[in-house]
Amino acid sequence: AQSVTQLGSHVSVSEGALVLLRCNYSSSVPPYLFWYVQYPNQGLQLLLKYTTGATLVKGINGFEAEFKKSETSFHLTKPSAHMSDAAEYFCAVSTNTGNQFYFGTGTSLTVIP
């Protein structure tokens, strides 16, 4: 079975500060990992994904995440927060092409001016 744990349901950072959103997964097989962002009253937008290959993946809007198998983690980072980054962020795991996604409960990011 697969599952995702997102530590910290609410994270606040100052504008220009480092953003770190945590995601740990559980999977009995090699995982496919994703980060999605959701703005108020909207659907989910793909930020980045890891399936195979390089463990450090870069996404849109300056975000990146590193797959660490030994720590079963896939934390999302951004060097400098922008006001427009304020949103809900979801980590998800899948196990193969076409398989269902399992989502975490989300982390709400607030950026303080």
For binding to another protein (CB under 8 A), which residues are involved?
Answer: 4, 32, 34, 36, 41-46, 49, 51, 90, 92, 94, 96-106
- Rounded to a whole number of angstroms, the minimum distance from the CB of residue 12 to another protein is 17
CA distance 106 to 90: 5
**Which C-beta is closer to another protein: that of 31 or that of 85?**
31
> Is residue 78 within 8 Å of residue 58, measured between CB atoms?
no
CA distance 83 to 61: 12
**Which C-beta is closer to another protein: that of 41 or that of 113?**
41
> Is residue 91 within 8 Å of residue 72, measured between CB atoms?
no
- Residue 16, SS3 per DSSP: coil
**Which C-beta is closer to another protein: that of 18 or that of 60?**
60
Read off the amino acid at residue 6: Q
Q: Which residues, 6 or more positions from 106, have their beta carbon under 8 angstroms from its beta carbon?
A: 6, 9, 38, 88, 89, 90
